[in-house]
Structure 1
Amino acid sequence: MSNRPLRIAMVAPPWFELPPRAYGGIEAMCADLTDALVARGHDVTLIAAGRNGTRAQRMLRTYDVPQGPRLGEPLPEVWHTAAAGRLLDDLDVDVVHDHTLAGPLLARGRSVPTVVTTHGPLDGEPGDYYRQLGDSVHLVAISESQRSQALDLNWAGTVHNALRASDFPYRRDKEDWVFFLGRCTPDKGMHLAIDAALAAGREIKLAAKCSEPAEQAYFEAEIKPRLGRGVEWLGEVTGEHKKHLLARARCLLFPLQWEEPFGMVMIEAMVCGTPVVTLRRGSVPEVVLDGVTGLVRDNAAELPDAVEAVGSIDSRDCRNHVIEHFQPDTMAAGYEAVYRKVIAATTTAPAPLVPAPRREDMLPVA
């Protein structure tokens, strides 16, 4: 088992195809991980919605069309889980790797281990949910910061997310404006990014998904009043357009207001040679090397000076940091180690002791 190729069932969420054409961070991670595992010689069966753009040896489809327009509704996720469970019943695999929220509910009835990547925050109900699952699932954190939020969960490892550096352009010479890229939500701190850029005397371009009611409400309350001279709203940008904006910007300005579990946008910027100016929240110290690939500050009042000072960061250090630490093969090696660990634990674990029934509990046979 320590050397032979593994048979892996990869269960993706139902919202976007793999790889996603636009928004879909979890789906992008699943696609990169699938391709890297296949490149390492493993047999991967992908269970997902829509088309298959990965190198998985086979795909079992739940929905013909991804359910992105229904994101936030419970039924597509539950239906997808039921369909995936039925498909998994007929598969001969060594391990199931589930990236959905509802899917782990079926893990308790399987003979093979289920690995679950915790893609979101773990405070409050999400952490309590995984506690209810107990040791029926083997959890993988995407950062040590995320894992520290709930040390009591059944952790099998920590594996950082990754991206393919070759998919992103590198540009050494930067233009004199700063960039915000993320969701249009208060926890990403877009309003603080605008204030910091203007205080630093720099123009800022804003690119964000703004389709859900809560996102639109935040935009109307905090962003729209700040638009005007020096503040350009681009809306949601994707594909090559997004990558070239990242490569051109003086820096990515990312004033987080929550404990970010990972933050893919930070490594997307750095691989383009663009440093990150951000706050010390969540996974930031694990992702950005302060003074080398960006500037990490403790409060928003320090951001304008950081925008000025970021010009001293060498763009080559930014890209090399991502290549050394956040490539898909590195991520796949981390998950492979987790798979082998939980498979070994499952196959060597002794059968649970079942006490013999007491005489008074036994019913006579008719």
Structure 2
Amino acid sequence: MRIAMMVKGCVCTPAPADIIYSPMQLATQLARVWAGRGHHLDFYGPVGSEVPGARVIDCGVPPLVTDKDEFTEALTDPGLASDNILALWDARLAQEMFLRAGRGEYDVLYFHHPEVPLPFLAHHPGVPVVSSVYDSPLPPLLTQAIGMFASPQHRLVAISAAQRHADPNLTFAATIPGGVDTADFAPDPAAPPGRHLLFAGRLVPEKGVGDAIEVARLTGHELRLVGPWYSNSSYFADEIAPHLGDQVRYLGPLSLAELRAELRTRPRALLMPSRHESFGLIIIEALACGVPVIGLRRGAIPEIVIDGQTGFLVEDVDEMVAAVHRLPTIDSDACRADAVRRFSLDGMADAYEALFRQVGSA
């Protein structure tokens, strides 16, 4: 197949290490798999993007973002928002994708943000388009816009059943969970069992960082925090920094390779006190490394963690503390086996290939 793919026009792929941006991670990994299977991949991104296995087409678009602070500023800058600059950067790349598809150069266009292709659909009715939806619930006006531009050739993909439930007004062609390279994310058999707990994600209130810190305090375990914090918010300085020390350590916004190395140190568990997760790629990365997961029974976490087998599903901090004490009952080999069986990168690539063929022949 001939596949054209795009994430965003404002930031290079791969994303800077201090930006947690799962769509880019999945895009680069899928490109590598599909290229290895003989498919032709064109990746559309700003100047400086590099995607192994794909030809990068940048249309001369310069990146607007090079780190997490610029990313935050770009999303909140009234000048960029009022002039639709971010959308125009996306549109320049998407326009080229549709023009080339109209000339028969591609079998399918694949977008990692569903709003990007919307303005072009009516002008290219013969071009098959697939868009992954990563966030849920979507903002009501975005849901309305997707309905306004609805087209038979635009198929939406959900990443979990919880996401479909959160966005009942959207029509999804498939549900395809995220996948992880289980050869890359694997336990280190030489590493001794760790005694520490791990939190990995954006250091923002909705991710439940404060709850993870409280669990560490109540259990006496060391907690390592991984992820970016944002200079336009006082949350890190007010709610996290005062707790840092010997028991709670901040490792910074690690690169993917550094995160993988941290998972291979065999943490006792990954804590997921997030209020809502549409999926949670870090969960399957941890499980693939044999690390059990303790998470709230919210969002998509119950679709990934098997309670009592690959971790524990809980309702609050007290139950999370109790689950930490029950961790010796979890078999790390079972954690990895389930991740390999249900959440491999190859399985994810297979599911998208099947959908691409379906929409291409419709």
2:275 maps to what in 1?
Answer: 257
Runs of 4+ in 1 over 4 A off after TM superposition: none
Is 1:95 the counterpart of 2:92? The answer is no
Give the counterpart letter for 2:281 in structure 1. M
Within-5 A mapping of 1:291-306? 291-306=308-323
CA distance in 2, matches of 1:127, 1:212: 30
Taking the aligned partners of 2:185 and 2:211, their CA distance within structure 1 comes to 27
For 1:360, the equivalent position in structure 2 comes to none
Secondary structure in structure 2 of the residue aligned to 1:244: helix
Q: Equivalent residue of 1:88, what SS? A: helix
Q: Is the 8 A contact 2:273 2:296 kept in 1?
A: yes
Match for residue 57 of structure 2? Answer: 60
Given the two structures, how large is their TM-score scaled by the length of structure 2? 0.86
The letter of the residue matching 2:173 is A
Q: Distance in 2 between matches of 1:151 and 1:340?
A: 26
Aligned AA for 1:254?
M
Distance, in Å, in 1 between the alignment partners of 2:353 and 2:132 is 13
Post-superposition shift, 1:315? 1.2
Q: Give the superposition deviation at 1:232.
A: 1.3
Are 2:278 and 1:268 aligned? no
For residue 201 of structure 1, the aligned residue among 214, 217, 220 is: 220
C-alpha distance in structure 1 between counterparts of 2:107 and 2:245, whole Å: 56
Secondary structure (helix, strand or coil) at the match of 1:295 reads strand
Moved more, 122-131 or 269-278: 122-131
Q: How high is the TM-score relative to the length of structure 1?
A: 0.85
- Segments of 5+ residues of structure 1 without an aligned counterpart are 1-5, 346-366
For 1:67, give the aligned amino acid: V
Amino acid corresponding to residue 354 of structure 2 in structure 1: A
Unaligned runs of 5+ in 2: none
Alignment partners' CA distance in 2, 1:198 and 1:32: 37
Match of 1:152 in 2: 169
* 8 A Cα contact 1:16 1:27, kept in partner: no
Percent of matched pairs sharing the same residue: 30
The counterpart of 1:129, out of the listed 145, 157, 182, is: 145
After superposition, where does 1:35-54 map in structure 2 within 5 Å? 35-49=32-46, 50-54=48-52
Q: Give the number of the structure whose alpha-carbon radius of gyration is greater.
A: 1
2:97 paired with 1:84: no
* CA distance in structure 1 between the partners assigned to 2:308 and 2:11 by the alignment: 36
Q: How does 1:1-366 map to 2 (within 5 A)?
A: 6-20=1-15, 22=17, 23=19, 24-49=21-46, 50-56=48-54, 58-62=55-59, 63-65=61-63, 67-69=65-67, 70-71=70-71, 72=75, 74=81, 75-91=85-101, 92-100=105-113, 102-105=115-118, 106-110=120-124, 111-125=126-140, 126-135=142-151, 137-171=154-188, 173-213=192-232, 216-248=233-265, 249-258=267-276, 260-345=277-362
Aligned residues: 336
Q: Could you tell me whether the CA contact under 8 Å between 1:277 and 1:303 is conserved in 2? A: yes
- In 2, Cα distance between equivalents of 1:187 and 1:314: 30
